[in-house]
Structure formats: C-alpha cells, structure tokens
C-alpha cells in the first residue's frame, strides 16, 4: 500500500493542509509520524460500568501494538450504558437507542478525521452491536477487542451470575431467605470487572464477533482480568496496521454467509433473544437482510451444544476452559461455511485445524448435543403475525405448551405491582404491552418483571408475553418481540383481561382465542396512546424506529 491510498492523506498532504498539520502538531503529533496510517482507538471506558471500567488499560496496550507496527494511534471515546444499572426504572428506555448513538458517533469521528483503521474496545449488550454496525457501515479496516467476562461469583459453593441475585430478591419477599443471607449473596455475586458471567446478550455478541472474524482468536472468552486479554489487546493493535496495509475490510469478512454462520452459532450456544435485534441491524448496514424466519429455520436444524447460565449451570469461565470460540467453531464445522475469511488472515477451516476440545462436558460434540434444536424459537399466529421469540432452551417442558387467561398490563411497572400483590396465579398469561421499540419507547428489557416472576416462584406455571424485549439472562416461558407492537395497533393492543392465549413452542404457534369478528370490533374503537416522551432523543427515536422484526433500526 502507498500512502496515497490512505484516507488520512486527505488531512495532511499538500500546501493547503498546513492548518491541519499545525493542529495535529498542537495535539502532540510529530511531523515524521504524519506518513503513518491513522488508527482510531474507540474506547468505551466508563467509570460506572463494570463491563467497561477496565478498558483504559487495554486501550494503552492497543496503542502500544499500533506503535510497534508503525501506525499512529488516536484514542477517542463514546458512550457505554450498563443494562444492569438501567434495569427497572426510566433509564431502561434509553439503552437500546444508545446502540444507534454508538454507531453514529464512531461514524462521525472516523469520517470527519479520515481515519484509516479502527480498533474498538467494548464489552456489553448494545456497545458491541453498535461497534459492529459502525464497522460494517464505514467499511474501513476494523477490529474489536471485547473486554471479556467477569469471573463468576460464588455462593453456597456454586458459580453464580447477577440475574440470580435479582431472583433472590423475590425469595427474600417470600421469606425463603433472610436479609443477612441476601446481603451476603450480594457481596459474593460479582468478582471484579467484565461483562456479566453468563451467556447473556453481551457475551453472545462477543462470541459472534470472534466468529465473523472481527476479533482475534480467544478474545471473546478470555476474561477481563486474564493475561490473555492483555496479549490480545496488544496483538490487535499490531494486526490492525497490517489490515490497513492489506486493505482487509469488514465487508470482506461480514458476508451474507458469515451472518448465517453467526445465526447458527447463536442457536448452538444458547444465545440471547436480543440477537434477533442485533444481527439484522448489523447486516443491514451492508444491505444484507436477516429475518426472524432465518433464525427459525436455522434453529430447527442446529443442535444446542452449550447450556451456560441462565439456561444451564456452566459459566463463560467454563466455556473458556474448554477452548472458547475456536472449539465451538470446530464442533459446528459441519454446519458452518468454513471458507469464511477472518481478520487474522486465515479462513475458518484453517484457524481451527489444530484446536482441541478440553471440556466436552461444557462444549458438547454435535452427536452429544443437549437437544436437536437451537436455543430460540420463533412463534407466529394471530397475536403476533410477524413473529415473536422465546428462549426455548430455558423453558421447562411443562410450559412449552400452555393455555391460560390473559392478565393485561400497559407497562412493566403495573405487571410487577400485580405480581408483588399476589394478583397473578398459576396458569395466567401476563401480557405487557406498549413496551415495543416505538411504544416503549426504546423497547425496554422486561428483566425487572421476569426476575420477580422467577423469584415469586411463578416461572414454571405463568407465561409472560410482551412487545418489549428480555435480558439475555431471562429464563422461563417468556415470549418477547411481539410484532406488530401495540403502539402500531398490532393484535396485542386488542387483548382484554380474561381472553385465553395459547403458547405452543413445539409447533411454533401463539394464538389469541378471540374470533376475528370480535377483534375487528375492538380494532374499530382502538386509539393510539399519547407519546410517553414529548422531547429529547426518545421522542425522535419513537417517530423513526422500525419494528422489532426488522431489528429496531432507525430509518
């Protein structure tokens, strides 16, 4: 590659660029370094975010790697919201919209300053998807250094994750544990920085990032405090300069087949329901369409080979001990397009040739899979014509087919209050609506509701249906992403208390037992609710966001 092909030459070459060179000099850039590739380091360090509080150290190592490879690093920041901290209050409205803000802010900086390549550091739920959206949109050489999971907590001799503490709050209310036990649990549930120690959205997306070749081998499951993470950070700095020289871009890696690989892996590892929002949104940036039907077709044909928390007892620490993503790829090789390229130069088939599964009890071979189908199921019917999703691997068999009377609430808070006041009984179907992308707005996670549901001992006898979404840690008969949403006048807006709803995970069906004539009468008198926010970003978001079945993206 010659310097004339670098984007950064537009900034520094020619007599008419003297002012730019002077400004860079004022930032500490020496003249002799102006010929080097300009590499942006996107650091999402956040002092209030356990998943991101350690990223400054990794950013320094990335910078050292860039310098080692004769690149010129420029660090800049963007936002990182913690889903856990935003749970159960107004703050959760803002979390999904932050994904678009992250992608936009990276695009704005990289384009305005004509950066030649990017290394992006992030760990958690909306941050990693936002970075992947930016990478695909910009299509300049890019790598992610995902910050790694936190080590799992320990309580009663068992590995624990943060969602179990939330469920323990329900046990406290029911008198199953004492205040002292709850406080002790709280002290032991987390062990330092990193993404939550479970196969939630954060770690699902980090594993998929490694699969599609946008991070180096072992990055996804190497834990935040491990030596391996530091090594990967420095090597990523070196590798990005090589990628600029090779002109190896995200769209060379994130092909249509790579996205299909990602859907397959998500189904096999017990991935989060939120992948239905994020994978289509990332693919859309390069004109590739991934639909809920693609997830369903893949799930029907993909065995489940990992059951990590919340679906099982294993943690990401166990998955890392087994060999991480390279081992998952090898075990799934007959189901993946192994010819896909990676950022580290090899194709998938070459990258795992010498990989060995060190914990087949954690990452099972296909012939010993937990089930013949993947983790998610897409249900359709007159309540959700465009589909909705359930994490079928986390539902007890008795609730995979269930019919019960609807208990209808127009917000998560109303449903929680009813559960806490013992107004929900075994067999009910809780309906929480006006929580979709537009109606929410922001498509809040219903984790506050689901953890009360589980903590109150209702998780094996009561179903929950919503046009909102769930945390990746959700378990139980919880059906989300109902489309069209209530705010758009979807059938969920017409449900009344006492209507019977059938959920049939095995046959992929969801049915509202109200005849079409009655539904049409209700439709004629239905009126949209006034917007919950009349100013600021949420007002703008509500007006332009797409439905969940299209990834909840902005037009």
Q: How far is CA 107 from the centre of its chain?
A: 20
Question: Do 480 and 339 share a structural domain?
Answer: no
Q: 215 and 283: one domain?
A: yes
| Cα gap 347→345, rounded to integer Å | 7
How much of the chain, in percent, has pLDDT values that exceed 90? 85
List C-alpha distances in Å: 501 to 118, 405, 446, 477, 497.
49, 6, 19, 13, 11
Please report whether residue 26 resides in a domain. Answer: no
Whether the CB-CB separation of 73 and 240 falls below 8 Å is answered with: no
Residues 538 and 417 in one domain: yes
Residue 157 to residue 269: CA distance in whole angstroms: 25
Q: Write out the H or E segment, with its range, that includes residue 250.
A: helix 250-253
Residue 368: CB partners within 8 Å, gap ≥ 6? Answer: 360
Closest-CA residue to 55 (of 116, 136, 127): 127
- Do 218 and 302 share a domain, yes or no? yes
Are residues 336 and 216 part of one domain?
A: yes
Q: What is the pLDDT of residue 1?
A: 47
Establish if 445 belongs to a structural domain: yes
CATH of the domain at 433: 3.50.30.80
Number of domains in the chain: 2
pLDDT at 459: 84
- Residue 219, in any domain of the structure: yes
CA distance 115 to 175: 58
Q: Tell me the per-residue pLDDT of 121-143, one tens digit each, with 9 for 90 and over.
A: 999 999 999 999 999 999 999 99
The residue whose two tokens read 């958690």 is 124
Does 396 share its domain with 526? yes
Q: What is the pLDDT of residue 471?
A: 79
- pLDDT tens series, the chain, 555 aa: 445 589 999 999 999 999 999 999 999 999 999 999 999 999 999 999 999 999 999 999 999 999 999 999 999 999 999 999 998 899 999 999 999 999 999 999 999 999 999 999 999 999 999 999 999 999 999 999 999 999 988 888 888 887 888 778 878 877 888 999 889 888 888 889 999 999 999 999 999 999 999 999 999 999 999 999 999 999 999 999 999 999 999 999 999 999 999 999 999 999 999 999 999 999 999 999 999 999 999 999 999 999 999 888 999 999 999 999 999 999 999 999 999 999 988 899 999 999 999 999 999 999 999 999 999 999 999 999 999 999 997 888 999 999 999 999 999 999 999 998 999 999 999 999 999 999 999 999 998 898 888 878 888 899 999 999 997 667 789 999 999 999 999 999 999 999 999 999 999 999 999 999 999 999 999 999 999 999 999 999 999 999 999 999 997
Angstrom distance (rounded) from CA 24 to CA 294: 48
Which residue among the candidates 8, 123, 461, 471 is catalytic per the annotation? Answer: 471
| Residues paired with 152 in a beta bridge | 190
* Same-domain check for residues 429 and 541: yes
Q: Is residue 519 part of a domain?
A: yes
Same domain, 517 and 423: yes
Both 221 and 337 in a single domain?
A: yes
Helix axes 256-268, 292-300, angle to 10 degrees: 60
Compute the distance between CA of residue 141 and CA of residue 302 in angstroms, rounded to an integer: 32
In a domain, 186, yes or no: no
For residues 415 and 218, give the distance between their C-alpha atoms in angstroms, rounded to a whole number.
41
DSSP conformational letter for 72: E
Residue 191: what pLDDT?
A: 85
Asked if residue 331 belongs to a domain, the reply is yes
Asked if residue 269 belongs to a domain, the reply is yes
Q: Is 375 labeled as catalytic in the residue annotation?
A: no
Question: Is the residue at 13 inside a domain?
Answer: no
Shared domain check, 384 and 316? no
Q: 478: closest CA among 316, 310, 315?
A: 310
**CATH code assigned at 129:** 3.40.50.2300
Q: How far is the C-alpha of 490 from the C-alpha of 291, rounded, in Å?
A: 19
**Are the beta carbons of 47 and 85 closer than 8 angstroms?**
no
Name the residue range of residue 347's domain: 36-150+192-351
Q: Are residues 312 and 223 in the same domain?
A: yes
pLDDT of residue 473: 67
The per-residue pLDDT for 296 is 97
284 and 427 part of one domain: no
């Amino acid at each position: 590659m010659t310097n004339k092909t670098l984007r950064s030459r537009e900034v520094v070459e020619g007599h008419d660029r003297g002012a730019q060179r002077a400004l860079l000099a004022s930032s500490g850039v020496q003249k002799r370094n102006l010929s080097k590739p300009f590499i942006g380091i996107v650091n999402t360090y956040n002092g209030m975010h356990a998943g991101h509080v350690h990223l400054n150290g990794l950013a320094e190592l990335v910078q050292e790697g860039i310098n080692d490879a004769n690149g010129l690093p420029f660090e800049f920041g963007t936002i990182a919201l913690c889903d856990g901290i935003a749970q159960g209050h107004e703050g959760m409205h803002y979390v999904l919209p932050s994904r678009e803000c992250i992608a936009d802010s990276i695009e704005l900086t990289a384009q305005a300053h004509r950066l030649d390549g990017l290394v992006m550091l992030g760990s958690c739920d909306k941050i990693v998807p936002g970075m992947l959206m930016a990478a695909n949109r910009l299509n300049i050489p890019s790598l992610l250094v995902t910050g790694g999971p936190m080590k799992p907590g320990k309580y009663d001799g068992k590995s624990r994750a943060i969602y179990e503490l939330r469920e323990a709050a329900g046990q406290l209310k029911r008198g199953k544990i004492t205040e002292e036990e709850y406080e002790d649990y709280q002290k032991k549930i987390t062990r330092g920085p990193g993404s939550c120690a479970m196969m939630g959205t954060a770690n699902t997306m980090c594993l998929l990032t490694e699969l599609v070749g946008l991070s180096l081998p072992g990055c996804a499951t190497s834990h935040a405090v491990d030596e391996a993470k530091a090594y990967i950070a420095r090597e990523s700095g070196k590798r990005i300069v090589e990628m600029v020289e090779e002109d190896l871009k995200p769209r060379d890696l994130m092909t249509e087949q790579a996205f299909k690989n990602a859907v397959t892996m998500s189904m096999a590892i017990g991935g989060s329901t939120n992948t239905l929002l994020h994978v289509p949104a990332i693919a859309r940036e390069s004109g590739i369409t991934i639909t809920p039907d693609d997830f369903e077709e893949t799930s029907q044909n993909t065995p489940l080979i990992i059951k990590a928390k919340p679906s099982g007892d294993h943690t990401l620490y166990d998955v890392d001990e087994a060999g991480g993503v390279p081992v998952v790829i090898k075990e799934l090789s007959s189901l993946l397009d192994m010819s896909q390229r990676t950022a580290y130069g090899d194709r998938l088939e070459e990258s795992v040739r010498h990989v060995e599964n060190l914990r087949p009890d954690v990452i099972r071979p296909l012939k010993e899979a937990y089930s013949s189908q993947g983790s998610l199921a897409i249900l359709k019917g007159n309540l959700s014509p465009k589909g909705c999703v359930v994490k079928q691997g986390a539902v007890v068999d008795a609730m995979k087919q269930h019919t019960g009377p609807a208990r209808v609430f127009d917000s998560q808070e109303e449903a929680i209050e009813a559960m806490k006041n013992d107004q929900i009984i075994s067999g009910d179907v809780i309906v929480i609506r006006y929580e979709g992308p537009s109606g929410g707005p922001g498509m809040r996670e219903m984790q506050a509701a689901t953890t009360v549901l589980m903590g109150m001992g209702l998780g094996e006898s009561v179903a929950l249906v919503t046009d909102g979404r769930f945390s990746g840690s959700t378990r139980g008969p919880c059906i989300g992403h109902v489309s069209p949403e209530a705010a758009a006048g979807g059938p969920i807006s017409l449900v009344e208390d006492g209507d019977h709803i059938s959920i049939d995970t095995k046959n992929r069906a969801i049915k509202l037992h109200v005849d079409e004539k009655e539904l049409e009468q209700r439709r004629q008198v239905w009126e949209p609710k006034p917007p919950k926010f009349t100013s600021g970003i949420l007002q703008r978001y509500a007006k332009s966001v797409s439905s969940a079945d299209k990834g909840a993206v902005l037009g």
